[in-house]
Amino acid sequence: MAKVGYIFKADRYDGFEADKEWMQKYGCVQVIEELVENEALRPRWKQLVANLERGDEIVVAKFSNALRGSRELSAFIELCRIKVVRIISIHDRIDSRGKLFPETTAADVLDMFGALPEEVAVLRYSSAHVMNLQQKAKVPRKTMKAMDKADRENTIVDMHVNGHSFEDIMAVSGYNSRSSVFSVLNRHGVKLNRGKFKGPLGKRKPKDGQ
């Protein structure tokens, strides 16, 4: 009978260290961490569930962090019922034995089930978005130079819109000056709002109040 924890390391997961510490203090012999690039397949989660034995305890940070939908949650609960595995969800404040969070009501559990699809969708979108940005940011300079002009400029616009610094954009695009990046953004009608001025190049005016 072992206690084991699981955390999917979603991007900007500010509570990761606190949740891991909670699991360790509770007595988890291992806290399994799933990396964001494995969000689609969750190989470590599948391995963990397959290795559960009768009487084990599994601790998750939140059901929406560990599972990818209501159907998967239902199958997981049924498996744990058959194997007599105790389930603890820290932030949902649910303990299948009803000991750790006695104040949790049936209404709270139903709210968790109702909110699960939306929470999972938000987490999956955020993870996919981060992976997309990371892949674009890692494009080698030679590869970027080999792109056609349209793809190259679209990548520059996407990076700017998503908040990348000009240094990152120049490193990926192969441009050696900010003016070249500004020219691309200007051609695509991107509203520039950095520094003392705003608006397209050539028609820029001071920000309000300056």
pTM of the full structure: 0.61
pLDDT at 130: 56
DSSP characters for the chain?
--EEEEEE--TT-TTHHHHHHHHHHHT-SEEEEE-GGGTTT-HHHHHHHHH--TT-EEEES-HHHH-SSHHHHHHHHHHHHHHT-EEEETTTTEETTSSS-TT--HHHHHHHHHHHHHHHHHHHHHHHHHHHHHHHHT--HHHHHHS-HHHHHHHHHHHHHTT--HHHHHHHH---SHHHHHHHHHHTTPPP--TTEESSTTS-EEPTT-
In this structure, are residues 40 and 72 in contact, taking their beta carbons and an 8 Å threshold? Answer: no
In this structure, are residues 162 and 155 in contact, taking their beta carbons and an 8 Å threshold? Answer: no
pLDDT at 91: 95
pLDDT at 142: 45
For 134-170, the pLDDT digits (tens) are: 555 554 444 445 456 776 777 787 777 766 677 767 7
CA nearest neighbour of 90 among 11, 37, 34, 28: 28
Query: Across the chain, what does the average pLDDT equal?
Result: 81
Range picked from 14-18, 186-190, 195-199 for highest mean pLDDT: 14-18
Residue 130 burial (CB < 10 Å; 0-12/13-18/19+)? Answer: middle
- Name residue 58's beta-bridge partners: 4, 87
For 98-142, the pLDDT digits (tens) are: 999 999 999 999 999 998 988 888 777 666 655 565 555 554 444
pLDDT-derived band at 199 (thresholds 50, 70, 90) equals: very low
CA nearest neighbour of 90 among 203, 206, 7: 7
pLDDT at 168: 67
Query: How far is residue 80's CA from residue 84's CA, in Å, rounded to a whole number?
Result: 6
Query: How far is residue 44's CA from residue 37's CA, in Å, rounded to a whole number?
Result: 12
Answer yes or no: is pLDDT of 203 > 80. no
pLDDT-derived band at 193 (thresholds 50, 70, 90) equals: low
For 17-59, the pLDDT digits (tens) are: 999 999 999 999 999 999 888 877 889 999 999 999 999 999 9
